[in-house]
Structure 1
Amino acid sequence: MRGGKDFYRFASTPAPNQITAGVGFDGDTFSVFCFVVLGARWGRSLSLRVPEKKGLDRQTDGQQGDPVKVPFFLSSTTKNGEEVNFRIQNLTLDRLEEVVDTMLNKNLNEELFVKAAGISKSIEAITEMQKLYYSLLNDSQNAALVCCVDDERAEIAGFNMLYRGTNKDNMIEEMAKEVTHGFCDPFDKLNIEVYLGGAGLYVNEDYRGCGVATQLLKARKPLCEELSIPLTGAWFTGLGSQKAAEKAGYEVLGEMSYEELAEKTDLTFENAPESCKFMVLKIDSSQ
């Protein structure tokens, strides 16, 4: 896709009568929204300007390494009967604005935590989100995976924004811990110093039910191997993303009921599943 690094390619289709509601908009954005929503509520803000688009240059000049080939293929047709081939690769600089705009204009209207917090109704909150996403994507320590249609147009079918979560001096992790304390701490439970965390999982409405979310979550594995990170994980807030993570081989490390989450955040969650789950995929370096 326009000079990016391929992680793998696949062709996909939804199964007949497959339930796909919410897949891609209820994903692994929990930690990010804890930072934005609760930070604003508790008098903390992200002291950043919208940065110049620099960081992703590394993803077009080979500094992130050669793509890792993953021998996984799924072949069938989409819900309108059209066979579509997809490829997954790292985000490139020329698609940066498109990805951030999509997160702000579409994710804000459908993601559970965002809807409950009313982020789309607050200019200040939207501005904080924009600054945070540009800051994440311009940091050479972070990454993003993009799934696009494998043709000349390279339409974006979905993407997963990612960040390097560490146990030291990480503002996103610290804010999330204030909400999730006592429920799940991957650093303590798994005795790790770093993991690849999720900052947003999105699937284009036209391609929901094609397995895009599951494939994006699977593609974290070769990325972790390339970056020498032993584990990837995130808080999955919706049933659709939880099912996608389960299909991708993720295991539940901890969970928190939405009743408990509502008490901690003073938010009201509508049409939420029973719980919010922290799910992980361990990377076997011996393979």
Structure 2
Amino acid sequence: MQSSSSSTKILKIVEGSENRKPVKFFIKEIPKNRYEDAADHMCTYFLADEAICKSTNVKDDPVAVKDFRSLFLYVLEGGLSVAAFVENPEDGKSTIAGLNILYRGGKEKDLEFQEFTNNFKSEKAKRILKVVSDTAAEVDAEKIYGTENYLGGLGLSVDPSFRGNGIGYHLLLARNEIGRKNGLVITITVFTSPISAKIADQAGFTILCEKLRDELVDEKGEILVPNCQSESFKCMGKRLE
């Protein structure tokens, strides 16, 4: 796969550094020919670093990784996801420095999403998704914003080599243009760590609902993710600009 990310419109150029050398990050929609690369990135970095996935050691569970990879690819097919690319002059293929997997949410779309994840083989993966869905369960987008349709986020990840450049923040801001392009005026996402919630706050998100880790339990009354370092999870939203 030698094609770069040049086939999609540049949403923003962010200047930063890598190993003390200046570098430019091109924020773009992820083209179809990079979906596999995007899924690889998420399985390598997101599953290792995201608070809930880290606490359950998802990256070392082949069944859970397979489930999540299938979910990443399924959502990527919606064509809304964005990434920060760094051009690589050596082989002509840009590097994915960070990405945010996005999807169109709403009552009908949420049911389709649920039907897809019902086929998961990993109980660990199912528990993780239950934390997210239970955190957002009480949020009524139509009551709060006047519309049930929203731009949702499945996961935001940045390659450790490029962290410290504000990529996560700029990927969140890119939702403004993605929303405009696709007729979506709000965005809603569950943030699972204090750091990600702080970045979301800086990007204009507000807390719609917050759930304590220890109040999210399964049908037996057992805490879903007892070893997670995050003491609470926040469903946050904003009107897109």
Tell me the TM-score normalised to structure 1 length.
0.67
Q: How much does 1:188 deviate?
A: 3.6
Structure 1 CA distance for aligned equivalents of residues 133 and 189 of structure 2: 16
| 3-state SS in 1 of match to 2:24 | strand
Structure 1 CA distance for aligned equivalents of residues 22 and 196 of structure 2: 23
**Alignment-derived partner of residue 104 in structure 1:** 43
1:6 matched to 2:10 = yes
**Alignment-derived partner of residue 85 in structure 2:** 148
Q: 1:201 to 1:101 in 2, by over 3 A?
A: same
Higher alpha-carbon deviation: 173-182 or 257-266: 173-182
**Alignment-derived partner of residue 159 in structure 1:** 99
Structure 1 CA distance for aligned equivalents of residues 202 and 222 of structure 2: 30
> How many residues are matched?
216
Give the AA of the match of 2:59. Answer: S
Structure 2 CA distance for aligned equivalents of residues 94 and 235 of structure 1: 28
1:270 matched to 2:228 = yes
CA contact under 8 A between 2:32 and 2:77: conserved in structure 1?
Answer: no
1:195 matched to 2:134 = no
Q: 1:130 to 1:251 in 2, by over 3 A?
A: same
> Deviation digits for residues 98-135 of structure 1, max 9, x if unmatched?
11011112222221121334433433222221221221
1:135 matched to 2:92 = no
**Alignment-derived partner of residue 141 in structure 2:** 186
**Alignment-derived partner of residue 246 in structure 1:** 201
Of all paired residues, the percent bearing the same amino acid is 27
Which runs of no fewer than 5 residues in structure 1 stay unpaired?
13-77
CA contact under 8 A between 1:108 and 1:119: conserved in structure 2?
Answer: yes
Structure 2 CA distance for aligned equivalents of residues 265 and 8 of structure 1: 41
Higher alpha-carbon deviation: 227-236 or 115-124: 115-124
Give the AA of the match of 1:122. Answer: D
CA contact under 8 A between 1:179 and 1:265: conserved in structure 2?
Answer: no
CA contact under 8 A between 2:135 and 2:235: conserved in structure 1?
Answer: no
**Alignment-derived partner of residue 126 in structure 2:** none
| 3-state SS in 2 of match to 1:168 | helix
**Alignment-derived partner of residue 120 in structure 2:** none
| 3-state SS in 2 of match to 1:7 | strand
> Deviation digits for residues 211-253 of structure 1, max 9, x if unmatched?
0000000000011011110101200001221121111111111
> Deviation digits for residues 61-97 of structure 1, max 9, x if unmatched?
xxxxxxxxxxxxxxxxx37432222110000122211
Structure 2 CA distance for aligned equivalents of residues 178 and 154 of structure 1: 34
What's the C-alpha RMSD, in Å, of the aligned pairs? 2.5
Tell me the TM-score normalised to structure 2 length.
0.79
Higher relative contact order (CA 8 A, sep 6+): 1
**Alignment-derived partner of residue 122 in structure 2:** none
Higher alpha-carbon deviation: 263-272 or 201-210: 263-272
- Considering fraction of residues, name the structure with more strand: 2
Q: 1:107 to 1:181 in 2, by over 3 A?
A: closer
